[in-house]
Structure 1
Amino acid sequence: MANQMTKAQLVAALAERTGGDKKAASGMLDALTGIITETVSQGGAVTLPGVGKIYCRERPERMVRNPSTGDQIKKDADKVVKITVAKALKDSINA
């Protein structure tokens, strides 16, 4: 990941594209993050057009292997956040 964008760079780019200031752009980004977090934690899904769909998936109880000892361990059921990348984004990367 040679060209990883930081939050400050993302806020600056968002402010430049929208013609607003960095404070407003930072507020919008924080609000978007809060909305996504709240929706997904309640079991919903958020679709960002052109980017993808963010949702929560439940994983069942399962047996896993401890890599250092090789022992089998029972792992409890849990939830994980998944992101399905939009076709438009995939196509833009492979173009």
Structure 2
Amino acid sequence: MNKSELIEKLAADTELPKSQVSAVVSAFEDTIVAEVKSGNKVSLPGFLTFEKGHRAARTGKNPQTGEPLQIAAADVPKVKVGKSFKDAVNS
């Protein structure tokens, strides 16, 4: 399911216009990104938790030549799946 299919499904389930559902989905995405970018954790208990992680600088290797190369440190998004979501998928 892609974003447009999700919007169509939510619009059908809630009987709201697709334009309103699309605006809510976009606002949801923008809010999650902005909060995680600023270092805040966003938790939807039992479903998902979004947070900012840090990956330290390290030495890797070029897979074609085998030469060592430096990989820079980076901030990365982390997503954890909640227990009730896991349970629903496994049942």
- TM > 0.5 between the two? yes
Give the TM-score taking structure 1 as reference length.
0.87
Q: Counterparts in 2 of 1:61-76, with a 5 A limit? A: 61-76=57-72
Indicate whether 1:6 and 2:2 are aligned.
yes
Unaligned runs of 5+ residues in structure 1 are none
Show CA shifts across 1:8-49 (max 9, x none): 110011112222111100000000011001101111111123
RMSD of Structure 2 on Structure 1 (CA): 1.2
Indicate whether 1:30 and 2:26 are aligned.
yes
SS at match of 1:83: strand
**Amino acid aligned to 2:12:** E
The residue that corresponds to 1:56 in the other structure is 52
Unaligned runs of 5+ residues in structure 2 are none
CA distance in 2, matches of 1:15, 1:80: 32
CA distance in 1, matches of 2:12, 2:45: 20
Q: Counterparts in 2 of 1:33-48, with a 5 A limit? A: 33-48=29-44
Structure 1 runs (4+) greater than 6 angstroms displaced: none
**Amino acid aligned to 2:50:** I
